[in-house]
Every structure is written in structure tokens, then in C-alpha cells.
Amino acid sequence: MQTATISFDRFNSLADNDAGDRIRAAKAALGKDVVMLCHHYQRADVYAHADITGDSLKLSRLASQAEAKHIVFCGVHFMAEVADILSRPEQISILPDLAAGCSMADMASLAKVERAWRELKAVLNPDEKITPVTYINSAADLKAFCGEHGGIVCTSSNAPKILEWSFAQREKVLFFPDQHLGRWSGYKMGIPLDQMVIWNPDLEQGGLTREQIEKAKIILWHGYCSVHQMFQPRDIAKFRAQYPEGKVISHPECSFEICKESDYIGSTETILKVVKEAPANTRWLVGTELNLVERLAHEVKHEGKIVQFMASTICMCSTMQRIDPQHLAWTLENLVQGKVVNQITVPEHEAKLAKISLERMLAAS
């Protein structure tokens, strides 16, 4: 007799500790049939159950090499999509809560990007003049768009190298959805700021003149990360005034002003590496998501290192916070019963094109 899917209602009122006990029991029952991935920004009471931790691309690539049939991704929607694209055909990608999205990824939809491409045709032929580049923090259909139009995907660590590849293909780049990563990467390549313009998808022709489009080397999408947008130059100025010997390290999703004022810029993996390998008894101001910063501070405390969060207000990735112990316990207990909930499946034609853009990135970087 086939069992029915277990309703989430039975888990909603569970205490976090009780949910944690049930997660451990379900994982033990599932054994090697499941692998649990946790992004660095994930909350501590979920992160504690991870089999593999890391940034989004690293997790997806490692999951595809795992023996497990079921990939439970404790991250956000686009991450689970990448896992589905890169995993083996028999593997199943699962997101414990479908509401775990990414506000930055949502700022660039396929409809808006396709409209921008059409509007750019009034000024130039984008298929001959522009390489579309999408940050990995984007929906699968945008990765597919790049695959179809000779474009590519980038990450926060390889963006400058990917821009080099892109300019070798065509003279301009349309970079979405994060303007800050695109601007900082272009700046590091020596591209003047006035040759990097903002395309606002809510305005006709992006709010740009023909002359601005013709002059631009990089057309930056009007998108940003709500977490990294919170950090302000005054936060760095205050830290440097109090601790002149201290170091500042920030994620490239931060504003241009924050990046310029920082001593180091890097991805989540880079931030962890730099601080962990730094000399003992050093002090750091870190501009990225709070869960990562607090975890890092705890891990290096025994070396006398002090790690501080950059913002004066609490600043977490609220959408990733939706993956909680209750949703995770519900997901795993359904798997124990042979039921898959919240499977993430990218349509085959879309996945094929998206994989092209991802493979271009892996080859170029």
C-alpha cells in the first residue's frame, strides 16, 4: 500500500530542538541515499546538519559527484536549479521550502532581459556586438538565454576572467542581475566608470540614450543584493578610526564605494580563506551576510582573531532563512517514506542551454 505525502502542518509547531532530533534520525535512516548541501549564509541550526558546505557552484558540482540519489539543497531556488542542471540524470534536486528565493535574482526576469535585447536592436545588433553575462545568482532561464546568445555565466570569484572571455567574443557586455559585481569587475580590468552604464528595465530603452549605449563597454542591469546593499562607507570609516591596524574584507556584491575602501575583496570562499589564513591576533571587519560572519568569528576566536560584522543593524539573507529545521525535518521524513517533496526540475531544453553557458564558464575559468 502506497503511503501519502506527510503534510507540513504536522511540523510547523515543532520546537527547533525537536526538529533537529528528527532531522538526525531521518538522515540516519536515509544513509547514503541523501546528501545535504548548505550554503555559507544558511542559519546555524540548519548548517549543523550539512554533509557539504560552500558557495553555490561548489556545492552543485560536489553534489553531482556524490553517490546520493537525493540532493537536499539548503540554499535558495537558483542554487537548487544549478544542482539539477549539473547533477546526473538519476539524481533529484530538492529545496526544503519553495519560498526560499533570491531578491536579486528576481530583479532580472527572462521577459525583461528579452525586452532589453529587443530594445538594444534599435541602436545596434546585440547578437554581433554584445556578450550576455549572467551572474550565477540568477534563474535557469537566464542562464539558458546566455547559452542561446553566445553568452556565459560568472561567479563572484571568476567574474573578471569571464569578462575577459566575453570581450574576446564581442565588444560589449550586458551584465545581469548584479550591477555591483559587474562594475567592480570592470573597474579591476581598467574600464572607466563612464563606460559602464545602468540599464533600468522599468524605463524605455533602459533609461539610456543612443550615445550612452554606443559608448558603453558594460551595460549593467539595475539589480543588487539587499544584504550587501546595507553596508555603508561610514561603517568602514568608524572601524578604521577605532582600529587603525584592522583589516576590511568585503564581498564584490557590495557597492563600489565599499569595495574601494576595503583591503580585500572576494567571494564567500575567499573571505573565509583570507581570514582563516591571516596571522593570529588580527582584527577584521567583514562585509557579507551575518550568519557567515558570526560562524567565522567563532571559528577563529581561539587564534585571538576578532571578526566584526560591518553593518550596525542585523542583516541576514531573509529568503535563505526560510530553510528552517521544521522544513528540513519535513523534507527528510517524506524521503524516508519514499516521497519526494519540493523537487526542483529545470525543463530539458532550458537545462541544455543553461549547461552550455555553465560549461563555457568552467572552460574559461
Angle among Cα 12, 13, 15 to the nearest 5 degrees reads: 115
Look at 129 and 2; give whichever has higher pLDDT.
129
Q: Give domain limits for the chain.
A: 8-100+319-346, 105-226, 228-309
DSSP H or E segment with residue 123: none
> Which pLDDT score, from 0 to 100, does residue 63 have?
85
| Residue 264 grid cell | 580585500
Query: Nearest to residue 55, comparing CAs of 73, 68, 70?
Result: 73
253: its cell numbers: 556584491
Highest mean pLDDT of the ranges 1-15, 310-324, 351-365: 351-365
Asked whether 139 and 177 are in contact (CB, 8 A), the reply is no
What is the rounded distance in angstroms from the CA atom of residue 303 to the CA atom of residue 333?
40
pLDDT tens-place string over residues 53-107: 988 788 888 888 889 999 999 999 999 999 999 999 999 999 999 999 888 899 9
Secondary element (H or E) of residue 11: none
Sort residue 54 into left (φ over 0), alpha (ψ -120 to 50) or beta: left
Show Cβ contacts of residue 273 under 8 Å, excluding neighbours closer than 6 positions. 266
Q: What is the pLDDT of residues 284-320, one digit of tens each?
A: 999 999 999 999 999 999 999 999 999 877 666 667 7
Q: CA 109 to CA 245: how far, in whole Å?
A: 44
pLDDT tops 50 at residue 3 = yes
How many angstroms separate the CA atoms of 100 and 322, rounded?
Answer: 6
Running DSSP on this structure, what letter comes out for residue 189? T
pLDDT at 102: 86
C-alpha cell at 174: 550586458
pLDDT of residue 181: 98
What gap in Å lies between CA 112 and CA 145, rounded to an integer? 12
CATH of 8-100+319-346, picked from 3.30.70.100, 3.30.1330.10, 3.10.450.50, 3.40.50.10800, is 3.40.50.10800
- Beta-bridge mates of residue 131: 173
Mean pLDDT is lowest, of 4-18, 235-249, 332-346, 351-365, for: 4-18
The label of the residue with cell 547559452 reads 147
Are domains 8-100+319-346 and 228-309 of this chain identical in fold?
yes
Q: Give the number of C-alpha atoms closer than 13 A to the C-alpha of residue 194, restricted to the C-beta side.
A: 2
Q: How far apart are alpha carbons 176 and 29 in whole angstroms?
A: 42
Q: Tell me what pLDDT residue 1 has.
A: 40
Q: How do residues 237-248 score in pLDDT, each as one tens digit?
A: 999 999 999 999
Q: What CATH architecture applies to the domain 105-226?
A: 3-Layer(aba) Sandwich (3.40)
- CB burial string 284-320: b at 16+ within 10 A, e below: bbbbbbbbbbebbbeebeeeebebbbbeeeebebebb
The answer to whether 321 and 110 are in contact (CB under 8 A) is: no
Question: Hey, which residues does 221 pair with through a beta bridge?
Answer: 199
* Under 8 Å between Cβ of 250 and 286: yes
Look at residue 314 in the predicted model and tell me its pLDDT: 67
Q: Look up the CATH number of domain 228-309.
A: 3.40.50.10800
Tens of pLDDT, residue by residue over 205-219, are: 999 999 999 999 999
In whole angstroms, how far apart are CA 216 and each of 130, 187, 330, 361? 11, 13, 50, 23
Query: Chain-wide mean pLDDT for the chain?
Result: 94
What's the per-residue H, E or C state across 232-251? CHHHHHHHHHHCCCCEEEEC
Query: How large is the average pLDDT for residues 247-267?
Result: 97
For 119-168, write each residue's pLDDT tens digit. Answer: 999 999 999 999 999 999 999 999 999 999 999 999 999 999 999 999 99
Using alpha carbons, list the distances in angstroms from residue 20 to 46, 134, 324, 325.
8, 37, 10, 6
